[in-house]
Amino acid sequence: MDKVFLISFIIEIIAISLGGVTTRFFNYHVIVTVSGLMLVIGGFKETGLLQYLGQSLVKRSTTTRQLVRFTTLLTFFLAVFFYK
């Protein structure tokens, strides 16, 4: 078992036993959004789209700096166009 997971689990059990849990601590919007993103990424992985995009970016870039530039710009433009 992972040591970090085990330590955080023990701390969580201690915190729950001392303080209790209420539903106001949960941000359901974030939980639903992250779950949706995980489903979308899982679908992309199953279709092979992520593998194709990764290989095409690596083939087109000649240096590591160019690869970092491509991925940074891709992230920037996707965030601009898909933000609400």
Has residue 25 got a pLDDT over 80? no
Q: Domain limits of the chain? A: 1-47, 48-84
Q: List, in order, residues 6 or more apart from 44 with CB less than 8 Å away.
A: 50
Identity (one letter) of the amino acid at 36? Answer: G
Give me the phi and psi of 35, to 5 degrees please. Answer: -65, -40
Q: What is the pTM of this model?
A: 0.54
Query: How confident is the model over 26-70, as pLDDT tens digits?
Result: 889 999 999 999 999 999 899 999 899 899 999 999 999 999 999
